[in-house]
Amino acid sequence: MSLRAVFVRPSNRTGSAYLNKWGFLPAPLGLLALAGEIKRIPDSEVKIIDMEADDISLDDAISQILDFKPDLVGITLHATAAHNNAGYIARGVKKAKPDTVLVAGGHHATFLPEELIEAGFDISVLGEGDETIYDIAMAIMENRSFNQINGIVFRDDGSIKRTMPRKLIQDLDTLPMPPLELLDPSKYTFKVFGTDDRVMCLETSRGCPYGCDFCSVTPTWGNTWRNKSNERIIKEMENAKSYGYNWIFFTDDIFIVEPNVKHREALFDMILEKNLNTSWIVQMRVDVTSRHPELIEKAAKAGMSISFLGVESGSEEILKKMHKGEFTPQSAQAVKILSGNDIVVIVGMMVGAPYERYRDLRSTVRFSRELARAGADALQFSIYTPLPGTRIFDEALEKKSLFTLDWDRFDVLTPVMKTHVGPVLDQMVQFYASYSFYIYKFLRGKITGLQLAGKKKKLIDTGTKFIVDMMPEYLRSIAQFPRHLLETYDMYWNSKKNGFIGKEGHEELVSNSNKIIYDMGKKKNVYYMIKR
């Protein structure tokens, strides 16, 4: 017997800001990883439907799924905001083809599995799904119960069951190579830096050992950092290049951790020796970056062209409360080091923490200007959002801070909770800080006559042209902002009048969000599992 499987990346109802504003859409690595597991099964057939890349409607996605006549459909909830669309697809497929097994995965499915079952799925996968999806596929083929598959929540004769936690995958090198032949490279663009650029996502590691209170990454990957060998990383990079991808987005939540500095240096040497000639995007911590300028210099030579730094706040007090483990002087120094090595620096900051005061908002906006002077090229201002699986989600329910559980709004761009200064003001500050950063940087450049050089100049010049061409789209977004602000105002005041969403009636949300999802054995606090 063969197996037919479809894997879907659903769109968000609020849209993808990266795609809409920057033309940035990297290939869906998570779906490729799952597809690689299915392809281990002889005579299996796999299809990937990427709603963002194909720009298709929900009903079109359902039609394409049904045309393939799958036995298994996996939908990744790569963001909490994809919940409603994913549920719509699952129900549509189940109605037309009841024998299809619907599987949800991703961080949202991990921490709200019963919600996904109620939304129409048969199985919700907890944590990393590589080995789990293979086990599910084999159970379908052999017509077995899902009872013996660790790490899932599933529907069983009208009841919902949770199986035993699954162990973390110890050796990431054992995972199948991503089957890149399933994708059309021309759909995965980076238009802000070039109309012909193609972006592949690869991972060199999984997880994060840090404990930022707003981040669901750490619990999703078992509170550890695990890496692949340099040989495996090089092999995947060569494979991506052979399919025409000239950009690689390393999706690692932290590309370099302190215990692995020497190993990364050896990787950069290997890339240079093999002359891979690819540009890559990474996410870095400011403390590691500021402590290792010589490593950043070598990384730049090897292809590091864009670095995202999660700075978060300009207030030392807020950084401490976030458990960020970093300080503002490190952030400015890290930006200078990266920029000085011809690397485009994108800074991530946020407003709207429940413990944030107005003075903290001002500090963050002022600090964004300091980072602009240090060499930051772009700024992503987010709204502090209590995502399922985080401590702050549980606290928000406990303290009745949430004024909505409409998952469409959990896009880290829209307020969902009450704060000291108020969600409306938070949204106004986020809007002002985002646009004023670029105005400030433009005017300062004109006044000082600052000139860029090298590869960074080429990228910035191309990006500037793209932004000018996209100006009508940006102006439409600006024009729509008052409507979004009024929506927040109405929802907030309705909740204030009728009562905020609290723990009562949502015990299931708190219970599932709190659960430990991995069997860590006797080693309860393995922060690093380094592979040399």
Q: pLDDT tens across 322-338, in order?
A: 998 888 889 999 999 99
Q: 143-174 pLDDT, tens per residue?
A: 999 999 999 999 998 899 999 999 999 899 99
Q: Is the per-residue pLDDT at 87 higher than 60?
A: yes
pLDDT given at position 217:
83
Single-letter amino acid code for the residue at 17: A
- Determine the pLDDT at residue 216: 85
**Which domain does 36 fall in, by range?**
4-162
Do 413 and 268 share a structural domain? yes
Question: Do 61 and 197 lie in a common domain?
Answer: no
> What pLDDT was estimated at residue 261?
95
Report the distance separating Cα 116 and Cα 114, nearest Å. 5
Sole residue written with tokens 């399933």: 182
- Distance of alpha carbon 429 from alpha carbon 383, whole angstroms: 10
Q: Edge-to-edge strands of the sheet including 344-351?
A: 199-202, 247-250, 279-284, 304-312, 344-351, 378-383
Distance of CA 151 to the CA centre of its chain: 21
- pLDDT over 60 (residue 524): no
Residue spans of alpha helices (H) in 39-193: 51-54, 58-68, 83-96, 107-111, 113-119, 130-141
Q: Is residue 251 domain-shared with residue 156, that is, in the same domain?
A: no
| pLDDT-based confidence at residue 15 (cuts at 50, 70, 90) | low
Per-residue confidence band for 20, with pLDDT thresholds at 50, 70 and 90: low
- Does residue 370 sit in the same domain as residue 262? yes
Can you name the residues that pair with 312 across neighbouring β-strands? 349
Say whether both 153 and 198 belong to one domain. no
121 and 212 in a single domain? The answer is no
CATH at residue 137 = 3.40.50.2300
Whole-number Å distance between alpha carbons of 373 and 185: 37
* 148 and 222 assigned to the same domain: no
Query: What burial class does residue 313 get, using C-beta atoms within 10 Å of its C-beta: 0-12 exposed, 13-18 middle, 19+ buried?
Result: buried
How open is the CA angle 69-74-80, to the nearest 5 degrees?
140
Q: Based on the domain organization, do 402 and 294 belong to the same domain? A: yes
User: What value does the mean pLDDT of the chain take?
Assistant: 91
Residue 518 lies in a domain: no
Interatomic CA distance for residues 221 and 253, integer angstroms? 10
The residue type found at 296 is: I
The whole-number average pLDDT for the span 272-291 is: 95
pLDDT digits (tens, 9 = 90+) for 381-398: 999 999 988 889 989 999
Answer yes or no: are the C-beta atoms of 304 and 337 closer than 8 Å: no
User: Among 111-115, 353-357, 436-440, 444-448, which stretch is predicted with the lowest mean pLDDT?
Assistant: 444-448
Model pTM score: 0.92
Cβ atoms of residues 207 and 260 within 8 Å: no
173 secondary structure, DSSP code:
G
149 domain-assigned: yes
Which of 36-45, 206-215, 509-518: highest mean pLDDT? 36-45
| Percent share of the chain, pLDDT over 90 | 71
CB 342 within 8 A of CB 307: no
**Which of 381, 369, 359 has its CA nearest to residue 335?**
369
Domain for residue 297, yes or no? yes
Residue 365 tokens, joined: 């906006």
Could you tell me the CATH number of the domain that includes residue 480?
A: 3.80.30.20
Summarize the confidence of residues 187-195 as an average pLDDT. 83
**Six-digit token string for 434:** 């985002």
Cα torsion angle, 317, 321, 326, 332, sign: negative
Backbone angles phi, psi at 326, to 5 degrees: -135, 165
Residue 205 lies in a domain: yes
SS3 501: strand
CA distances from 196 to 72, 151, 185, 246, 278 (A): 35, 41, 10, 9, 14
Tokens found for residue 318: 């807020």
Residues 228 and 301 in one domain: yes
Residue among 152, 120, 114 at smallest CA distance from 133:
152
Chain Cα centroid distance, residue 287: 21
- Residue pair 126/152 in contact by the 8 Å Cβ criterion: yes
Does one domain contain both 56 and 138? yes
The domain tally of the chain equals: 2
Would the pLDDT of 449 be above 70?
Answer: no
pLDDT above 90 (res 299): yes
* Low-confidence winner among 72-86, 139-153, 304-318, 349-363 (lowest mean pLDDT): 72-86
Q: What is the mean pLDDT of residues 172-183?
A: 97
Could you give the 3-state DSSP secondary structure of residue 203? coil
Q: In this model, does residue 365 exceed pLDDT 80?
A: yes
Q: Which of 127, 162, 197 delimits the end of a domain?
A: 162
Q: Do 195 and 154 lie in a common domain?
A: no
Which carries the bigger pLDDT value, residue 468 or residue 53?
53
> Is it the case that residue 7 has pLDDT exceeding 60?
yes
Q: Which two tokens stand for residue 115?
A: 């919600």
Same domain assignment for residues 132 and 217 = no
In a domain, 499, yes or no: no
According to the model, what pLDDT value does residue 166 have? 94
* Residue 522 forms part of a structural domain: no
Distance in angstroms (rounded) separating the CA atoms of residues 419 and 434: 20
207 domain-assigned: yes
Classify 377 in phi/psi space as left (phi over 0), alpha (psi -120 to 50) or beta: alpha
Question: Is residue 513 in some structural domain?
Answer: no
- Give the pLDDT score at 514: 72
Question: Which of 162, 177, 209 is the last residue before a domain boundary?
Answer: 162
